Each structure stands twice: as C-alpha cells, then as structure tokens.
Amino acid sequence: MRYVNASMRKSPRKSVTSTEAERALVTLVVDFANQGPPGTPGAVEHHFQQHPFVQRSPYWKSIDPVALKQPDPDGQISAAMARDFGGVQLDLRRRLEGIMEARGVSSTERAKVERNLQELLTVVAGTPAGPIRVPLGTIAIGYQRGQLTLGFQPFLTGVQATIDYGLALLLDAQRELSRGLMQCQVSKAGVVCGRFFWRSFGTERYCSTAHQNLARRKATMRRQQKWRATHLGWTAGK
C-alpha cells in the first residue's frame, strides 16, 4: 500500500463551473455531517446561518424555541428538536455515502433531492391559468467575456432546505463538487472514524495524518501476524 502525506481538505476544489458561494454551502453541509450529535436546535441553525444564501433569505423558518421566544422551562422542546436534527444528520451521512458510492449519478437520490427542493424552495402562487409553484430566490445577472449569464440564487427556508440544496450541488456532475470526496474508514477500538473530507492526492484515504499513521501501524501489524502465522507455524510443525 502506498501512503502519502495526508492533508485533509475541508472544502471542494475550485472549478470554473461552481461559484465560491456554492462551494461554501457544500462545505457547511459536509461539516454538519462530521459534527457530533446536535446539542441544541439553535446551534444547528446558527451553523447554516453563516451562509449568504441564508442570511439574505426572508423566508428562513426557525424552529428554535429560543429564537422564537417560546416558553421551554424544562428544555424538553429544545431536546426533542435536537433529536430531530440528529435524525437529519444521520440521514445526511447515509446520503453522502450513497453519493460517494454512485459518484454523483444516483437517480434515486437525485429524485429525492428534487422532490424535497420542489417543496422547500417554492411557494404556490395564483395565476389566471391556475396555481403554480414559484421558486424562492433571486436572479444573478452578469457577463462573462461579453456573454450574458443568468444564475439562480435561492432563498433557503430552513436547515433541511439548506442540506438538500447542498446535496443537489454535489449531485451536479458539471460542477464536480463531489470529486475527491472521501470517507475515512480507519477504526480505533472498533469504532470507524467515518469523517468526510476531500482528498488532496489521488491515493489519499484518511482524513488526517494521525489516522494515516494509525492505518499504517495496523497494516504493519497485520503483515507481521501473517508472517508469524506462516513461518513460525511452519517451523513449529517441523
């Protein structure tokens, strides 16, 4: 096995087909998957409220009783919502693993993201032809090399909408934001690390130098045990 110096990337590589804001959003989503169990709903919401797509959204719907100034004297409401976010986090990890396995071509995951975003990033508006769903967002107009460009910047409505939009960006093969996305599989005391990261090198498999060294020691130990079982066992048999 060939080892390289591990240099965990916390964000996807820059590309001409993705914007800085899109890369930042994907980074926040993956960071949430890497965190421990949510402590409070406010902490989870604050994690995503750092992003400009959220900061400028007039449609963000908080469920944090503190932010909503709802009475919660025994903390039971906050605890229940934190558990709900814990379920969202576990689901996110499973979905990221699915994206990695399919390398961004999972039709099932794309359909799920599309359904969620249709509900979370649109509002129903009445028209003479009947009700239609109108996207929540702004149109970014610009020019690149003299050519008109139109881009959609969504108004994110909550944590789930933010996660699904981030997953949609990861699933977009043209943006290549899932390129190099890995999950550290080294185990310690029977517990797999499971941390997601973007590799810096083509052969990188671990999220940090410490975990790379741990994997190296484990591999060396397995080789020694195999050699002893083969050679010392043969000698003893003689």
- Between CA 60 and CA 48 the distance in angstroms is 11
pLDDT at position 231 is: 67
* Residues in the chain, pLDDT under 50: 1-7, 104, 235-238
Write the CA distances from 164 to 53, 120, 149, 156, 225, integer angstroms: 13, 9, 24, 10, 46
Instruction: Give me the residue spans of the domains in the chain.
Output: 20-179
pLDDT at position 173 is: 84
Q: From the CB of residue 20, how many other CB atoms can be counted at a distance below 10 Å?
A: 10
Of 101, 90, 86, 72, residue with least CA distance to 171: 101
pLDDT at position 160 is: 94
pTM of the full structure: 0.81
